[in-house]
Structure formats: structure tokens, C-alpha cells
Chains A and B, each alone.
Chain A
Amino acid sequence: MGHADQDRQPVNNDGLSSDDEPWSDSDEGSLSFDDSGSDDPDEDEAAAGESDSSEDEVGPRNTVGQVPLEWYKDEEHIGYDIDGRKIKKRDREGRIEQYLRNADDAKNWRKIYDVYNDEEVQITKDEAKIISRLLKGKTPHANVDPYPDYVDWFEYDGEGHPLSNAPEPKRRFVPSKWEQKKVVKLVRAIRNGWIKFDKPKEEPNYYLLWGDETDTADNKREGLSYIPAPKPNLPGHEESYNPSVEYIPTQEEIDSYQLMYEEDRPKFIPRRFESLRSVPAYEKALREGFDRCLDLYLCPRTHKKRINVDPESLKPKLPSKKDLRPYPRTCYLEFKGHNGPVKSLSVEATGQWIASGSSDGTIRVWEVETGRCLKVLNVGADVHAIAWNPSPERPILAAIVGHDLLLLDADVGDEETKMRTKELLCVDEPTPEDDADGKKPAVRWVKHEKFDGITLIHHKLSKKRSHHPFRKLPGLPVAATFHPTQKMFFVATKKFVQVYDLQKAEVVKKLESGVREISSISIHPGGDNVIVGSKDGKLCWFDTDLSTKPYKTLKTHKKDITSVTFHRRYPLFASSSEDCTAYVFHGMVYSDLNQNPLIVPLEILRGHLSIDRRGVLDCKFHPRQPWLFTAGADSVIRLYCE
């Protein structure tokens, strides 16, 4: 409580001393309670005694107390005075009187009727003023300043005693724990170099990065091999701002670019500017730079061998053709006479005659040297295939006509042979001569598969009977041939070549050609190599000792290969095709097993015409000379010689 005393004391002191100055300053207009009191002594009393004191002064005439006046509504009196006498109600003034009084008395507006006491009270002017201020919501006295400036009466300096008597708290003497923590943090940060005060040293941006380059071992790039990015293409003439006229495409050409695929479309269309000042900024510059960036970091890089070579050097080096002579090169003779495509031809064993069968239903026998037609045999139907007896003593022709196999007397040679053949063909039963002759030549002589291809009938002429060696074949048989020396038989179906042993009557080997459809087959006179022609223009060379897969596949012809054939003496083989050409190859087979056969294409023989989209239908070598006979669909047989 002592504290409160201290507070009050100076207030009193101060109040006395400073009393005069502020209050004397205030002028007349700014009224205070004291001021108004000094002006009017009555009012002063009232103000000093406050509002209830004035009520005491006047004293209510009526003593009924605070009861509702309704209770006295019907009474003559309104209450009782202090002595207990009834206070009579006064008569009410009329309106006119009221009005007149109002008009007479200027102070009348200050008179208020007191219902409780039943009398009129006149209020003073000041009271009226106060009332009007109160009605306005202001302070009752006009002189009151509601927001006075705060005056701090307390003098702080020079006081010997504290305001509070409380002892100083401990925290005033002890350094702050939190501050210390913070400082420690900062100190540590500074010590550890997390906070640095000196500016970082300006190091030189550039220096001699590549010092001496003599030490090459050090100057090797580490890691994987670096593949440098290909340099951008250098600009050509067309990129010039002023190219020659020929580099500027015409409007039609530019329009035609729209029809191209986007990747084919030229990316840059040359333009021509008359002078350097008219060249605008290149609008795709940024884009192209960006594309280059993308190429550099997004494109996978590989080492690619770019072959900038002559395509000729990629082709294998073939031995000179001159060393491989002789081989047929030019057309020497034409055998004309047939009226339809010559389907097949065969050369007699001595090489003196050839026989040809055509689809005009005739078989013709020609003399090779002169080109003379010796004989015309009319067989009345298509001749599919024709073959001579390989033995020169008996010039017999076998021909497949329609569905029949005909054996014909060729009627060539000297009288003796003619006689013999006639004899042979006349006899129905097997003759002793035939047996003496041996079966083999006869067997080897004729071969054919029936054209409807259901069965392959093996004709054995000497016994005048046939037998069916293959009951089961993988597909339709297409071509067949005999082994030149052994008792073997090769049958080509569409995809495979089956090698069949005639004595054991079983399949020995199966060659896989890998072509789409085999059309013809031929055997090397040595017997170990087979060539197969296919309908997709491929020619396969099999080395039967080596493997069952082709040793070499040659893609030569554009159309079907119709026939392939080996030469019996020379290392030659040929293929003929529907594209009107015949190819001659050099095919050398070495006796040394380690050496692979040498195959060299030698010549393309042309000359036949395409009739009905068919070209060369058959080709055969001369048995002794390096000559090739070709039978064409244009009903001509050609002889190609050296």
C-alpha cells in the first residue's frame, strides 16, 4: 500500500503548484465546474452538492412516494403533503390560455409541468442548455475536453528510490542462455568457415590449360573411346545468297514439294537476292542451332564404316575369261523349221544329230553341222520331252507325247545300225542282245516323270517294264536324273532333291535346296556335284560330299530357269531361262577334295525372242565340242559356238 501513497503524494503537490497556470489560461468560453461556480453562487452550490442535493433543497411536495399516478386518477387529490393534508388537483388550463401565456411570457418555453407534484417548474437557461447538449449526445458541459493530452506528472530523474520495492531479479545479472547458444552457433559457423567475411578471392578465369603437350601418355582421354560428333554439312552452291540460276527451283517444283513426304522434302529452298543488303535475318537460325544441340547430346553415336568405294570393287574378282576358254559365245547356227515352241531337244551321243520335240506335234531330227532337217516325225500331240539313246549304236529316240512314252527309231547312221535298231524295236520280248548289252545303258537312257506328277515311273527298257520306286515323296516330283556312274537316281521335288539308291531301293540322301520351286536338275559327269535350277531364277550348286545344303546359290536369271545342264567333257555348265537368255558358267571340279569347285559365270547368250512370255525352253551341250544348243519358244533352235 505504501506504493499507492507514494503515487498520490506527488499528485497533490503537483496539482497545487500547477493549478494556477492551466486554469488561469482557460478563457470565459471554456467553462469548467469551478468556473461556472465562481460566476453564479446558486449554481455553484448546486454543482458542488451534485444533483441529489438540489432535490433535497426543494423537497417534493407530494409524499406518496414512487407510486403509479394511476392510483390517483379518479381522486380529487394527487397525494399528501408533508403534514398529511391532501394536495388538491389544480384545474387544467385551457389551450387558449396556454397559448396566451406562451405568447405573453418569453420564458414560458422553459416551464415544465411536473406531473407528480402537479405544478409548473421553470428551469434555468443553463439547465436548458445542458439538456439540449445531452440530447445531442455531447458532454453536458461545453468546456469539458474529452481527450486531453496526457500529462505525466511523475519525475523520474533524480529520484533516490525505485518505484518498486521488489529486489532485482536474477536474470538481470546472469548472461542470457539463448544468446549464448546463438553466439556459439555463429562462432562455430565462422570457425568452420560457413560464414565468411572476406570476399572470395578473384581467381583468374582463364589460364594456360594446355601446358606442354610433349607428354603424350598423359594426354590421353580416359574412359570409353570418344566418338566425335560428325561435323555439320558444309554449305553448297545452293545455299548462297546469290546462287546461279540453275539452283533456284521453279514455282512448280516448290509446289510439288508439298506432295512429298515430310522427310523427303528438301529442308532448304534456295533463294536469290539481288544484293547483300537485301538479305534478311535467317529466321530458323536459333532453331537450327537448337537442333544441332539436340543431335549432339541425344543422338546415339556409333563408329560406322562409311564405304566410299567403287561398287565394282565389292564384287568378287573373277578369273579372266580368256583363260577359261573355250566356251560358247556367239550364235553360229539357227535351226528353223518348227511351227511351235520347241519344248525339248536332245543331242545324239556322237554329236552328229540332234532331235527336237515341239508343241506343234512334231519331232525333228537335224544334222548338226549343216543345220539340215533330216526327218520330221509327226506324233500328233505335244512333245514334252525327248531323249536319245546314249549308246551310239542304237539311235533310238524316246519321247513323251501327251501321256505316252514313245520309243522311236531315229533312222540315222549307217545301214547296220539302222538295221539293229529296227530289230531291237521290233522285238516284243527281251532279247539276248539286250542282256548282253547290259541293263545300265538302257536304264540311264530314258528318264521321265509323268506329267500329272502322281507317280514317278521308272522305265526299264531292256525288260520292257516299268516300276515305281517312290511310293512316297515329299511333294510333287519335278525332275529326275540318273547318276552317271553309280546306280543312283536323283529325284527333285519342289524343294528337295532325293538321292535314291536303285539297288537297295532306298533313299540315301536328301538335298535341301532352299529355293522356292525346283524346275530342273543336272549332274556333273563326276557324279558328286549337282546343279538345280529353280523357278525363282536361282541356280544351286550342291557338292554332295560336302553337305546337303547348296555350296553356292547364284541369282542369275530374272525369270524361271527352265533347264540346267553340264557339259560332259569341258568344265562348263549352262542354264536357260524364260527371260530369253542362257548363261554359260565355268564349273571346275577338282579331284583334290580340299579344294572347292570353282564357279565362274562366263557368258550370257541372247538371241531368242520371247513368245507368249516364254523364252528359252531347253538347253543341251554338244557331247564333244563346247557348243550349246538352245531350244526357244520362238520355234528356233540355236547353236552357240566358240
Chain B
Amino acid sequence: MPKHYRPAGKKKEGNAAKYITRTKAVSYLQISLAVFRKLCILKGVFPREPKKKVEGNHKTYYHMKDIAFLAHDPLIEKFREIKVHRKKVKKAIAKKNRDLADRLLNRPPTYKLDRLIIERYPTFVDALRDLDDCLTMVHLFAALPAVEGERVQVQRIHNCRRLSHEWQAYISRTNALRKTFISVKGIYYQAEVQGQKITWLTPHALQQVLTDDVDFNVMLTFLEFYETLLGFINFKLYHSINVNYPPILDPRLEALAAELYALSRYMSSGRLPGNPETNGLIKDKETENNEEGSKTVESELRLAQLQHQLPANEPGTLMHLVEESTADDTEDSTVKECRSLFKNLKFYLSREVPRESLLFIIPAFGGTVSWEGEGAPFDETDQDITHQIVDRPTQSHVFLSREYVQPQWVFDCVNNCIVLPTEYYVVGRVPPPHLSPFVDNDEVGYTPEFEEKILKRLRAASKDKVLPLPGLGDEDQDNSMVDARSEYNEVAEKKRKLDMLEKQYHEELKMEIEGETFSSLANKKGDNPTHAVDNDAHAANDQVDDLVEQAKKDEAEMSKSFVSNKTEGLIRAIEINKERKRSNVELLKERKRKASSSASAKRK
């Protein structure tokens, strides 16, 4: 807070001192709201929720430390400079002082964001963790029309395209792509870089329309940061695989809008031994590795020494090391799996197929790919092509040596990590439903038919694994259930006995009244009771079920009477949530049932 006189004992404390509303923050920093917004976006400062909202409920609160953090940033001064510069230019133009205006315009004040990036993401993994939004945004802007006079500068769109291609080239090169999904909104990709799962969305390869309902200032500020971030990340990633950054591309391919292919070629060539620079890099790397290796040996020795000092029964830390190494192995195996999925397969893309995404995906899984058009590595008549990807109602000229599949096949193969049979994806056929790889079907409680019936089986078959039998896992639960049941059986048994006795008693009474002899009674007893007992057993079984259910319910209710109001609300919320999930699943099942019944009716 600005320091001014405050009467004794009136010092602000607690939430009133810790948090500041946005309006006050803006006036405290002596900047305009627009600049404040820009600063917040670039610095990654966000409002916080104080425990007690001193100034009112409907205000946005920032933490005082955050605001102080903004106030100390040199960027704030830079923004002022920019403002002043703009005024100077305006003044010069208004005074017809052309040279001054030119001189000023030649040297506008600029600022760099690298400091901010290292401040916000001190380690590389931090940056990777937050990369989802960045990639989605950059890919979105890469899909915008690069037209002069629009609200977005052409140069920035081109920059976004370049960055996104570089990123994709890296992912493709390192086989880091894991999952893909064609949605209505675009194509989702999930990659794993340094153990971080990164998901991003690319719009479909159709140009977006710039709408009026968005504030481009905000988006462009975000983009500004994201562009820088992605640039540095790309640099780091390229550096890690010994490729120069920024890459220099074949202008011919670039002109043909096959930048991705150009990039991948660049990358593969960058590893050639003829390149002295990279060679040196590799050597450096190797020496580093050696050093690291010696270091690890040392540290292991230290660990062993420490191990002696530790009490003997402690589980060794060396175990950890072993585990880690095995974990590394498994990771390698997934990468290997990904690399070898489309190995020895040669793809050819038809004109109507979304080229960019397939050029990205197929090499990422080890396949070779070409396309219809100039600059393609091989053309349609190549005899080695195993799969041609087509998205048209009929294919006129057919090579017998290859299979013609729809693009969805590639995506489904990738998601299931097996090469699926092409019969479902033949040209002209409506492909089977495309399922999201991001959904945990068990958690949702509903598995779509295609997944359940076909994909699971195929996956299992490819891995030669036997699926565990359902219901083996929850033995404990069963046991407890059995317990409860036996208890209630006992009770019911008792009750039944009582009933029997009572019945018998009544019958005897009746008989007594009727005056029947014991002998006839014995006869009757011979045929009657077995029947009765049977019936009874049935009824009793039902009763037992009822009782068990009732008891469960009772128990739940009773223990509920003990929890506090807060917990009760929580429990209720959880139950409502569960109920909602269940109703959703019910709805799906209902629709499925209806659809299948109508389909069967049609068939008839």
C-alpha cells in the first residue's frame, strides 16, 4: 500500500493488507487498465481468492505481493517508454517534422520476454507442464487467414506456422506422439516429452473466420508470450537432439507448403557425420555423458557406503536405483513400440486427405509417407506403397498391391497402438465410430460397443495376453458380503423356524378342533411340509435379500446421522455427482438400445 499516515492502531492487517482490488492495484501502479492487463498476462499474475473479501464480494482481488512483483518489473518502464514514443511520433507528424518522425519510427523501443520466461518457468519441465495452452493457441493462430489488413499481422501468423511446424517436427522425429483424436473442434494430439503429457488441439485445415466477439488485444498479448516460450522450448528440444535452431529449410519445399517435410529432412540431415558442427556437439554430448557416468558411479559408491551406516532392516535405496533403471527401460519400450508401429509401411496420401496432420502422425510412428503434389518424395505409382489413404466415395483406379483406407484408420491404429485390419475402413464404407483415447471407460462406467467388442480383443490378441477374468479383483468385498449374508441367513433361519413352529401349532390347533387323529395327521405331514418348506425357502431367500439390502441402507443412514453438516453436504454432493454420472450412462444405454432396435427393425 502507499505509505501515508495512518492513525495509530489503524494499521491494516490480515486480508485487508494482503489483498488489493484490481482498481486499486491499477491506480497504485499508475498505469492504465490495458497495460495492467498486458502486464498480468505476460507476468502470469492472476487474481487470488482471499479468505475474507474485505472490499466486497464482487471484486477481483490480487495479492499485494503479486502487485509489488509487477511494480518492480522493468517491463512497466518499457511500456511507459513505448507510450511516450508513440506520443513523440504523433507530435512529430503533426508538426510535419518528417525526419524526426522517421528517425523515431526507425527505432521504436522494444522489449524481450526471455527473462519473464525463465522467471515463470525456472526449469524446463515447468515450462513443458504449462505448454498445453501455448500449443493450442499457436496452432489456432497458425490456422488463421494470413491476409493483410486483418486484425492479426501476417508476419505473426507465419511465425506461428513456423513454430508449430518446428514443434511437430521434433515430436515426429523423437516418436513422442502418443494419442490422437479427430474431434469436431479439430484434431487433438497428445505427446510425451520428458515424462510430461502434453495435449494440444489443432483446428481442422480450413481457414478460420475472424469473429468480432473476441478481444484480439488480449489474445495477441497471450500469443506474444506463447510465441517466445515455444521458440525457446523448441530451441532447447532441438539442442537436445543436436540439431541447429532455427532450422534453415529448403525454400522449394517451403514454397510448396510442405514445411513439415522440409523440417524432417533437415533434421535427419543435421545428424549426418558430414556436418562438423553437429559432430562436435555430439562429441561434447558424449563426453558429458561419460562424465555423468563417472559421477553416477561415484554417487553409487557413496550410496553403498551410506547403506552400511543405515540399519540393516531398512529397505535399501539402491532398490530405487534399480527401479528407476527398469522404469527407463519401460519408457524406452513404449518409444520403441511407437517407432515400430508403422515400420515397413509406406503411405501415400490423396489430395483430399488432411495432409498436414498425417504428415505429422505417420512419420511419428515410423512410417514413410508421400503425398499427391509437387515435392513429394515418391509418387502414386510407386510399387512399394502399402497403404493409400483416401477420403472419397469411390476410388476409380486401384492398385492391387496396396490397401485403400480412410484417414480414420491411421488415427485408430495410433490410439490402439496396433495396426488394425483395414476391413472396417475401406473406401466408400462408413467407418466405425471414432472413439476418444482420453476417456477412461471404466471410470465413466460405459464402454462403447466398438471398443468393447472389437478393439479390446484385437489389442489383446496383438499382445498375446489373456484378459483377466472380471470380478477376480474384489474378493474382499465378496467376503464381507458373504459375512453379512450369513448373518442375515441366520436371522432368517431363526425366523423361519419360528414361523414353522407357529404354523405347526396353528395347524395342530385346527386339527384338534376338527378332531382329527394323529395317524392321519402323520400322513398329511408326509406330503405337505416338504412343499411348504420349499415355498418357504424361496420366500425366505427373497426375504434375506431384502433384509441384506435393508440392512445396508440402514447402516448408511445411521452412519450419516453422525457426520457434521459440512461432511454431510459433501457426501450429498458426491452422491449427486455419482447419480448424474449414472443417469448419463443410463441415457447412453437407452439411446443405444433404441438405435439398435430401430436398426434391427429396418433390417427386417
Contacts and interface: CB of A to CB of B under 8 A. Distances in A.
Interface of A: 195-196, 200, 205-210, 213, 218-224, 226-229, 231-232, 234-237, 239-250, 268, 270-271, 273-277, 279-290, 292-294, 296-302, 307, 309, 311-312, 314-316, 318, 329-330, 554-556, 583, 601-604, 606
B436 A228 contact: no
B464 interface: no
B571 A240 contact: no
Contacts of B235: 206-209
B267 to A, nearest CB: 17
A555 B433 CA distance: 50
Contact of B561 (A207, A250, A601): A601
A311 B574 contact: yes
A299 B430 CA distance: 43
Contact of B219 (A290, A554, A602): A290
B431 A330 contact: no
B204 interface: yes
A245 B186 contact: no
A404 B389 CA distance: 98
Interface of B: 37, 40-41, 44, 46-49, 60-61, 63, 65-66, 69, 103, 107, 114, 117-124, 126-127, 129-130, 132-133, 136-137, 140, 143, 181-186, 188, 199, 203-204, 206-211, 213-215, 218-219, 222, 231-232, 234-236, 239, 245-246, 352-354, 391-392, 406-408, 430-431, 433-436, 438-439, 444, 448-450, 491, 494-495, 550, 554, 556-563, 567, 570-571, 574-575, 588-589, 591-592, 595
10 contacts: A210-B121, A221-B119, A232-B136, A244-B435, A283-B211, A286-B211, A292-B136, A297-B218, A318-B559, A555-B561
B140 A235 contact: no
Contact of B185 (A218, A244, A288, A312): A288
Contacts of A242: 182, 408, 431, 433-434
Given A231-B132, A243-B433, A604 B561 contact: no
A282 B239 contact: no
Given A240-B434, A244-B433, A315-B559, A279 B184 contact: yes
A210 B554 contact: no
A454 B151 CA distance: 83
A29 B560 CA distance: 131
A58 to B, nearest CB: 70
Contact of A221 (B122, B209, B219): B122
Contacts of B63: 224
A293 B219 contact: yes
Contact of B133 (A220, A292, A316): A292
Contacts of B211: 283, 286-287
Given A229-B46, A237-B435, A281-B203, 10 more contacts: A237-B448, A242-B182, A245-B433, A247-B588, A277-B391, A289-B137, A297-B218, A311-B574, A556-B561, A602-B558
Contacts of B49: 300-302
A307 B570 contact: yes
A234 B436 CA distance: 9
A140 B584 CA distance: 112
Contacts of B433: 237, 240, 242-245
Nearest to B231: A206
B185 A235 contact: yes
A210 B237 CA distance: 11
B112 to A, nearest CB: 9
B559 A221 contact: no
Contact of A283 (B188, B209, B439, B491): B209
Contacts of B48: 300-302
Nearest to A584: B558
A329 B490 CA distance: 13
A275 to B, nearest CB: 6
B207 A235 contact: no
Most buried by A among B37, B118, B213, B434: B434
A305 to B, nearest CB: 11
B94 to A, nearest CB: 21
B434 A219 contact: no
B218 A293 contact: yes
Contacts of B124: 210, 213
B210 to A, nearest CB: 7
Given A223-B69, A287-B213, A311 B183 contact: no
Contact of B591 (A246, A289, A302): A246
Given A290-B219, A316-B562, A316-B563, A276 B391 contact: yes
Nearest to A539: B561
B562 A286 contact: no
A244 B450 contact: yes
Given A223-B69, A235-B181, A210 B118 contact: yes
A314 B444 CA distance: 22
Contacts of A236: 436, 438-439, 444
Most buried by B among A210, A302, A602: A210
A246 B130 contact: no
A274 B185 CA distance: 16
A229 B184 contact: no
Would you list the 6 A-B pairs with minimal beta carbon distance, nearest first? A234-B438, A601-B558, A281-B206, A246-B592, A290-B214, A244-B433
A290 B222 CA distance: 10
Given A209-B236, A239-B185, A289 B219 contact: yes
Contact of A210 (B123, B210, B439, B561): B123
Contacts of A301: 46-49
A234 B588 contact: no
A300 B185 contact: no
Most buried by B among A237, A247, A285: A237
A515 to B, nearest CB: 14
Contact of B129 (A228, A270, A287): A228
Nearest to A604: B554
Most buried by B among A277, A289, A296, A329: A289
A236 B181 CA distance: 10
A556 B37 CA distance: 53
A289 B140 contact: yes
B252 to A, nearest CB: 25
A300 B117 contact: no
A168 B447 CA distance: 106
B236 A601 contact: no
A241 B575 contact: no
Given A277-B391, A281-B204, A296-B46, A208 B130 contact: no
B275 to A, nearest CB: 19
B561 A314 contact: no
B567 A235 contact: no
Contacts of B574: 307, 309, 311
A210 B127 contact: yes
B66 A223 contact: yes
Nearest to B210: A286
A239 B65 CA distance: 41
A209 B491 contact: no
Given A242-B431, A300-B47, A281 B208 contact: yes
B192 to A, nearest CB: 15
Contact of A206 (B61, B66, B183, B246): B246
Nearest to B124: A210
A275 B589 contact: no
A234 B181 CA distance: 10
Most buried by B among A206, A247, A312: A206
Contacts of B560: 315, 555
A206 B63 CA distance: 32
Nearest to A219: B122
A220 B122 contact: yes
Contact of A241 (B182, B232, B439): B182
Given A300-B61, A330-B491, A311 B571 contact: yes
B320 to A, nearest CB: 18
A276 B444 CA distance: 27
B557 A604 contact: yes
A223 to B, nearest CB: 5
Contacts of A287: 211, 213-214
